[in-house]
A and B are shown apart, each in its own frame.
Chain A
């Protein structure tokens, strides 16, 4: 089924970005309104498409639109085409919906920034690129969007690039993403080389004929791409620094949408991973490592945004784990992605609201007792908190517990290991999120008198309230009668035959809840019942120190990649200046020197030249003489 309205999804925000960037300062007055309108109208188109899809039967819901013939080289044919199906539409609604809310929030949040118009231009550009990513009907189209969001992320992290550290953070994110992008481009090349096509339909059709080795290679490369974009181990280091961007950016790009692109990619490529069990296992393992990694870092961070970033990393780890569990897990990965989009965006906006009221202070040790001053923020943040730790009936309970349950049911040692790790992660999540809430909103005040905490304006808290509704209700809504699972089934594959379950859902839920309570309890004992120092204590165990240093991820990268790279570069530079330049200059010097010597023979006198001829004749005669002797 084709539709002509798909292109408007992308065209509207792209138009917004173009207008805002080209109009420049002339649009300062109305730029933010215009950008928000573009995003909102894109959302409206998305809703229209969604309703249209609801009206169709299961198999008829996917809609395509061919834009133009993009690449036509021999057997390599790529159309610029758009595809919206049950999977894409979830993302479209999340991106445009949450995106629009964050646009609205930003109007107030960025009101004092001179460059607000540019900020909205970038946000619109991000929306367009992200939509292209999820709407592209081939890996190559996806790749364009993939690079587009990378660029938008770079521009927005470094939005306040007058601070060198922020600019460096942007660069770091960009470089880490490039590593992942290389994986994606390699995956596309392998897919074309082995399958002869790069469109989703074509790859899906031909995947069963390809060798497992090739599919595993594609899968691993796609996983590399996903780890880059979604801040998964081992390319996770950029996400914490990415918090340098304005908070709405952290909420939209680095919590709700862009960082979930990796999950989208893996879910979209389910037809590859289902045929390459090793790649799928790698996905699950990466997911588990990251969810523990992020959770541990989250426990040690005092910066509220970095704690949330670590939490994001950990939650995406859950999603990747879910996506790595095969057809049973895709739906829950997507469900967790959507619910996470709500509650994490809400919490980030809450964090932005807190910072807004606290003179941009980010250190949680200098908050405390803010619930009296920011009741709405506290309420929305609290609902998000309950959602993320998985308290029923909030959203996280439905999505995260399902992933843990599927992990346990994966079978054998693998299932027990993955499931236990995910359960452990849930406990740690409960601990560090409780820590964040207590340090920020509970306890006694620890800020100095310069701060005047106050509730944020309407334009800021309204989106937070809306997102809080999502945090509360979305899980229930998605899982009622397996609605999301059934909805996604035509794309990601059906239910597996119901195997014998290792643990029943009820047991998993109870286990998880018990662990969550333990985690919350620990946090209450440590941070609510005891005094919290304003400055982070330094006499801590080595584990805490390592956790504060992001589990040495930067040290590792520096030691393994940066320093040797610099050494190689220096060596090459030395080689270049001494050997290559030396050789080149040597040739020049030789020519000059030889010329200087030979120049003395060029007297300009005809007679000396004649003498040379005579000498040559002597040589000739002497040779004949010797030969005929």
Chain B
């Protein structure tokens, strides 16, 4: 199957079709990644861009790189991104209003100018030689040819990069290691804190969510004795994601006053 794709990619017309379908989609996805509000959506759009690029690589006779792109980027790196998003970023979806005055228009104008210059540069650049293609270079197989280069011409860079990779892994571990300054509070400490806190309201523990007959789920706050919804009964993560449903439609009726 993969072989077929490669074969198709080599022919001129199918490659043009592939380019003109995937290219605009990739650009659109990239634009979407910059524009959308939620980081999770950005990550998914980026994954799409990367898969598109992987296909482009394979179409350009870079089979090994295409596979690596999928495995390393779309697989490992994007998983890492999502993992960190789960860890920190879910509730940090930003408002898109700019805090640094005037930065956004300047940035957009500058970036457009940059892009325009770059594209016009590519447009009028001449290579100085005719198109060659990788048929000869890949004669013994793309992976074999790359390996030959990596372990001969680029062996020194290869070793250095491997050292860099190990160092980065170590660095990440050091950074992520949490130095605890005070001892972890025990359950006994937490219980004491609850009772000696500013009020006794939370001494019995937080109320659980979803106590309505019509909608008994975690995204609906519980109802307090005076009829108001208990915001504390909702998970903070859900609140940050904006996935909390208003409880009012699920109320059976308004509570009558005792004068009746």
Interface positions of A (Cβ within 8 A of B): 603, 605, 607-608, 611, 614-615, 617-618, 621-622, 624-625, 628-629
Residue pair B113, A618 in contact (C-beta under 8 Å): yes
Contact present for B100 and A621 (CB under 8 Å): no
Task: Please tell me if the beta carbons of A625 and B121 are within 8 angstroms of each other in the complex.
Answer: yes
Known interface pairs A607-B103, A621-B117; A629-B110 also in contact (CB < 8 Å): no
Contacts of A618 in B (CB 8 A): 110, 113-114, 117
A608 is contacted by which of B100, B113, B114, B118 (Cβ under 8 Å)?
B100
Min distance, Cβ A320 to any Cβ of chain B, angstroms: 89
Assess whether B198 is interfacial by the CB under 8 Å rule: no
A614-B114, A621-B117 given; name 5 further pairs at CB < 8 Å: A605-B100, A611-B103, A611-B107, A618-B113, A625-B117
How many B residues face the partner with a CB closer than 8 A? Answer: 14
Contacts of B118 in A (CB 8 A): 621
How many Å from the CB of B121 to the closest CB on chain A? 5
- Which one, A605, A608, A615, A628, contacts B121 given CB within 8 A? A628
**In whole Å, how far is A622's beta carbon from the nearest beta carbon of chain B?**
6
* Docked pose: A608 CA to B102 CA in angstroms: 10
Residues 80-122 of chain B, each 1 if its beta carbon lies under 8 Å from chain A, else 0 = 0000000000000000000010010011001101100110110
**25 residue pairs A–B, Cβ–Cβ below 8 Å:** A603-B100, A605-B100, A607-B100, A607-B103, A608-B103, A611-B106, A611-B107, A611-B110, A614-B107, A614-B110, A614-B111, A614-B114, A615-B110, A617-B114, A618-B110, A618-B113, A618-B114, A618-B117, A621-B114, A621-B118, A624-B121, A625-B117, A625-B120, A628-B121, A628-B124
- B residues near A628, Cβ cutoff 8 Å: 121, 124-125
In the bound complex, how far is the Cα of B100 from the Cα of A628, in angstroms?
A: 36
Cα A624 to Cα B114 with chains together (Å): 12
Residues in B neighbouring A621, C-beta threshold 8 A: 114, 117-118, 121
* Shortest Cβ distance from B125 into A: residue: A628
For the complex of A and B, 9 pairs with smallest distance between CB atoms: A621-B117, A618-B114, A625-B121, A614-B110, A605-B100, A611-B107, A625-B117, A621-B118, A622-B117
Chain B residues with Cβ under 8 A from A603's Cβ? 100
A506 to B107, CA, bound (A): 116
Residues of B within 8 A of A607 (CB): 100, 103
Instruction: Give residues 118-175 of B contacting A (CB, 8 Å).
Output: 118, 120-121, 124-125
CB-based nearest B residue for A614: B110
CA distance A615 to B106 in the complex (A): 10
A611 / chain B contacts, CB cutoff of 8 Å? 103, 106-107, 110
Per the bound structure, the CA–CA distance linking A156 and B204 in Å amounts to: 100
Residues of B within 8 A of A608 (CB): 100, 103
Q: Which residues of B contact A622 (CB under 8 A)?
A: 117
> Taking CB as reference atom, which chain B residue is nearest A629?
B124
Once bound together, how far apart are the Cα atoms of A603 and B99, in whole Å? 12
Contacts of B121 in A (CB 8 A): 621, 624-625, 628
Scan B233-246; emit 1 where CB is below 8 A from any A CB, else 0.
00000000000000
